[in-house]
A and B are shown apart, each in its own frame.
Chain A
Amino acid sequence: MSAPPVKEHPTDLRWIGQSMKRVEDPRLLTGRGKYIDDLTAPHVAHAAVLRSPHAHARIRKIDASKARALPGVLLVITGAEAAEQTGPLPCFANPPVAQRCIAVDRVRHVGEAVAAVVAESRYIAEDAVDLIEVEYDPLPVVVNPEDALTSSGDAVLHPERGPNNIAHQRTLTFGGYDEDLRSADVIVRRRVRWPRSGAQPMETVGAIASYDEGTGKITIHANTSMYNYVGWLVAASLQIPAHKLNIIPTIAGGSFGSKIFTHKVLVLAATLARACGRPVKYIEDRLDNMTSCDNHGSDRIYELELGLKRDGTMLAFGMKVIDDYGAYLQFGVGHHGNAAAQLTGPYRIKSARINLTAVFTNKCQQGAYRGFGSEVNNFALERIVDAAAGELGMSPVEIRAKNFIRPDQFPYKIPTGNVYDSGNYQAVLDKALEMADYHGWRLRQDEARAQGRYIGIGLASCQERSVFSSTEFWFWNHEPGFALTSSPESVNIKVDPTGKAFVTLYSPFWGNSPETMATQIVAEQLTIDPADIEITYADTDHGSMGTGPGGSRYTVMIAGAIAGAATEIKRKLFKIAAHFLEASERDLELREGRVAVRGTDRGMTIPEIALQAYYFRLSLPDDCNSGLDARFTYDHPYTTQPNADRTDLGVFYPIMGHMCHIPIVEVDIETGQVKYLKYVAVHDCGTVVNPMTLAGHVRGGTVQGIGSTMYEHFYYGEQGQLVTANFADYLIPTLKEAPPNIEVGHVVTPSPFTEYGIKGGGEGGRMGVPPALASAIEDALKPFGVKIDTLPITPMTIRDMIRAAQQGVH
């Protein structure tokens, strides 16, 4: 597939671009949204899970007799018992790593499930959990990813994969990397550490599963995504035919990636329901979620190098990265595919190398968290760019401006093979500098330093890729395995006999605004009023393919799907209207819900056409059937295969947004506390469907980014104990930790490849905050010569760095 044709985008838009109030909100505002724990089933029973207190141990013996004897307990099941009916969980890695919904034989992280209880209430289930007696034989614990490289013997988590804890190791080189480094005048090196934090939405993962003996079918209500993409994998784990499983989505109270495919909770709930003969509700509590939701983020150690000319021209960017994946590998090393999409950022870097080692350790496995690994690459790249600026005596603004890809160079192919569709990075930077009054603040900074106050101005220019292609899940593998190339989104639009549009989505609501996006786009396409549009969600029984929210893809993809379905509908509307109006279709136009002969007032409204279409077959053109609906599956608009030796990964994430963040902070050097004086975030997400909701993603993502940068850390102690396992210790920013005013600016470079030129923006501020804030704090502490290479940047670490600098220790 070569580049698709450049699309011409309509300019007089009625609904797209409006900050319309959200369609989702009325029920949410009035407490009438139905999240998974708000639902129930007749005779529902409740599950609780016994979790391992050990980070690594063999399970020698489980005595559940006291638990089973407790009144109100229906079932206690161990991993071995569950394995008699349920197979391993889905795994996207190749070769796959076996994981079970309840551990069999050994546990590999604190919090891993060891047994499950079903009882009349969650209270009784937890009482029973306390009565289960387990004997463990502890095994050596590995927590430091660098130690995992040389693990041996009993310290190896998956001995069937090899003699150590290396999960995957591969080096990819793009372009003339070694040659470019040799021709560099300067090679800047930096070590950077990004520890794991995680999505932590306010709602945990849950499911209600039931088995209907009459139909032999398992039904699962759940707040998961990807049910209409890979939901059948759950059936495979349950060892039932795919058509004997139906997954029904609920709305979710936030996800940020953590609910992208909650296979473990679905498989567990269904296993329990099948085993005990009653519907089973399993809702993670916060401890379940933090220790075992399978949603920890990237956990990386980078050795970076950037080769430049003395005048600041960037030539080559390379890295050796160790990523601590925890105990399993559900998404393979897809996060590094993701990073490769924008590896070289907004710069004209010519070549690159990634030496990747993924390791297993005794921690909860990584999942998907807003950015899926590319936000980490943004951090690494921007840190070394700042380091290079420092070494070359250039300002952070200068070095970026010098190396930006220029507007006339798009579509631009980066060394890894991915393409950036459009952009104007200088315009985004300029706008941010202006909004921030950058030069004014530099003057204020000097004045403040003279008074002994430490103001810092940060800057980061980061890519925000959108619309992933599924090739990123497997092109890192030595053997591709299931080398899928489809990641579509579908929609069904039915215009009913009264002219109302029923729009069915195949992917869930997470707090993104799928109903509002779909409403605005359908209204635009069919020229009807949003009030005449009804959005529904389909389960897997009735669903067409929907890859779901993630990788900032949903709005772009649903726009394409809606355009496809609406085109079908419009074709039929015109055909029927032409027939009734005795006009040529070429002379008709659709305007404000009416198909009319151009230049006259002869026309038919959509309801009028619809009524004819539904009931008057013999009045329609001969080749028209009754009805007025269309379903369309929209594929990724531009994706290509990687080449065989992976020197070119193909096009897999071309819809490229961009952002520039400028935080201005003041550091209290005595306590290390940081205060925001100003925060500017300029984003380019192409054509914006709803500026208000996009700004919501920018701000919300910014505060999540602040969390990862300054407060949040899944911290494992030496024995693999998760020290930050609850909301008192894992520090999610409150209102007071957020900048009081995040000023959002927009630049628009439409995509040439998507409907309306939309680019994804859902990952929002999180993609750029960490390097922006790190550079701001580093800038504030410049008089001390402090360099920031590790997160989180807490007041204590700031004090440590200042104290060390004052004592002359580095």
Chain B
Amino acid sequence: MEQVQVSVTVNGIRYARAVEPRRLLSDFIRHDLGLTGTHVGCEQGVCGMCTVLIDGQTARTCLTFAVQADGVEITTVEALGTPAKMHPLQRAFWEKHGLQCGYCTPAMLLTAVELLNSNPNPTRDEICEAMSAILCRCTGYQTIVDAVESAAGAMKGEAR
């Protein structure tokens, strides 16, 4: 099976790899690059666990081949922050109990990043619309919306 060269920037670091054309971007990020913060739930594009930002826009990595990522910039959850230095969204999810098992959390965070980048002042309805792209089985969603709302407020405050 012939391999194809892929050059992709992930979290600011450029990687050059040879991959099988059928290798899913989710597997590439997780196993070839060792960035396991992006999760896999269905491999059918429904649940959203595998969400990353491709050139700033959310995308389901289980519905993308790694070869299609040649030349793009990918952001995964690992870029957002560390326990010592969390992104305001991570802090807000922590404060508002926006997670229980944590499996959907990276996808929720990146979806919120996309939303707040284009709309720093969303209404609660707009937050619900954006966040409804990702399934969560633990929280019942309400505290996730609370967290995004709270983060939006905090980020506006910090931007000033």
Does chain A have a CB within 8 A of B57? no
**Is there contact, CB below 8 Å, between B142 and A741?**
yes
Known A253-B39, A285-B43: A29·B138 in contact at CB below 8 Å: no
Instruction: Give residues of chain B (71-103) contacting chain A, Cβ–Cβ below 8 Å.
Output: 76-78, 80-83, 86, 90, 93-95, 97, 99-103
Chain A residues with Cβ below 8 Å from B86 are: 26, 29-30
Chain B residues with Cβ below 8 Å from A286 are: 41-44
A-B contacts besides A29-B93, A728-B44, 18 pairs, CB < 8 Å: A25-B99, A26-B86, A29-B86, A31-B36, A31-B78, A32-B78, A35-B39, A201-B101, A204-B41, A252-B101, A253-B101, A254-B137, A511-B102, A511-B138, A513-B100, A700-B140, A727-B44, A732-B137
**Is there contact, CB below 8 Å, between A253 and B103?**
yes
Chain A residues with Cβ below 8 Å from B103 are: 35, 201-203, 253-254, 511
The 9 closest A-B pairs by CB, nearest first: A31-B37, A511-B101, A28-B102, A253-B103, A699-B140, A31-B77, A26-B83, A38-B36, A735-B132
A740 to B129, CA, bound (A): 12
Does chain A have a CB within 8 A of B8? no
Instruction: Give residues of chain A (487-530) contacting chain B, Cβ–Cβ below 8 Å.
Output: 510-513
Chain A residues with Cβ below 8 Å from B137 are: 199-202, 254, 256, 700, 704, 732
- In whole Å, how far is A736's beta carbon from the nearest beta carbon of chain B? 5
**Is there contact, CB below 8 Å, between A740 and B128?**
yes
Does chain B have a CB within 8 A of A37? yes
Does chain B have a CB within 8 A of A703? yes
Question: CB within 8 Å of A: which residues of B?
Answer: 20, 22-23, 30-31, 35-44, 46-47, 49, 76-78, 80-83, 86, 90, 93-95, 97, 99-106, 109, 128, 131-132, 135-145
Does chain B have a CB within 8 A of A43? no
Does chain B have a CB within 8 A of A708? no
- In whole Å, how far is A682's beta carbon from the nearest beta carbon of chain B? 16
Known A24-B102, A33-B102, A286-B44: A738·B77 in contact at CB below 8 Å: no
Residue in chain A with minimal CB distance to B90: A29
A742 to B93, CA, bound (A): 18
Residue in chain B with minimal CB distance to A32: B37
Chain A residues with Cβ below 8 Å from B83 are: 26-27, 29-30, 32
- In whole Å, how far is A82's beta carbon from the nearest beta carbon of chain B? 26
Chain A residues with Cβ below 8 Å from B143 are: 696, 699
Does chain B have a CB within 8 A of A734? yes
**Is there contact, CB below 8 Å, between A21 and B95?**
yes
Does chain B have a CB within 8 A of A693? yes
**Is there contact, CB below 8 Å, between A740 and B101?**
no
**Is there contact, CB below 8 Å, between A742 and B38?**
no
Contact residue among B95, B102, B138 (Cβ-Cβ distance under 8 Å from A700): B138
The DSSP consensus for interface residues of chain A is loop
Interface CB pairs A-B, < 8 A, 22: A26-B83, A28-B99, A29-B99, A29-B105, A30-B37, A31-B80, A37-B39, A203-B101, A203-B103, A251-B102, A253-B102, A254-B100, A286-B41, A511-B100, A511-B103, A511-B138, A696-B140, A702-B140, A735-B128, A735-B131, A736-B132, A738-B142
Question: CB within 8 Å of B: which residues of A?
Answer: 19, 21-22, 24-35, 37-38, 40, 123, 199-204, 251-256, 285-286, 510-513, 692-693, 695-696, 699-704, 726-728, 732, 734-736, 738, 740-742, 765
A123 to B20, CA, bound (A): 10
Chain B residues with Cβ below 8 Å from A202 are: 39, 41, 47, 49, 101, 103-104, 135-137
A131 to B7, CA, bound (A): 34
| Contact count A vs B, C-beta below 8 Å | 172
A200 to B35, CA, bound (A): 25
A510 to B99, CA, bound (A): 12
Known A123-B20, A254-B137, A727-B47: A31·B106 in contact at CB below 8 Å: yes
Residue in chain A with minimal CB distance to B131: A735
Residue in chain A with minimal CB distance to B20: A123
**Is there contact, CB below 8 Å, between B90 and A254?**
no
Chain A residues with Cβ below 8 Å from B128 are: 735-736, 740
A310 to B94, CA, bound (A): 54
**Is there contact, CB below 8 Å, between A254 and B101?**
yes
**Is there contact, CB below 8 Å, between A700 and B39?**
no
Chain A residues with Cβ below 8 Å from B94 are: 21-22, 25-26, 29
Residue from B81, B105, B106, B137 with most neighbouring chain A CB atoms (10 Å): B137
Chain A residues with Cβ below 8 Å from B95 are: 21
A35 to B102, CA, bound (A): 10
A738 to B134, CA, bound (A): 13
Chain B residues with Cβ below 8 Å from A727 are: 41-42, 44, 46-47, 135
**Is there contact, CB below 8 Å, between A700 and B100?**
yes
**Is there contact, CB below 8 Å, between B80 and A30?**
yes
Chain A residues with Cβ below 8 Å from B104 are: 202
**Is there contact, CB below 8 Å, between B100 and A696?**
yes
Chain B residues with Cβ below 8 Å from A741 are: 142
A21 to B95, CA, bound (A): 6
- In whole Å, how far is B17's beta carbon from the nearest beta carbon of chain A? 15
**Is there contact, CB below 8 Å, between A726 and B102?**
no
- In whole Å, how far is A633's beta carbon from the nearest beta carbon of chain B? 27
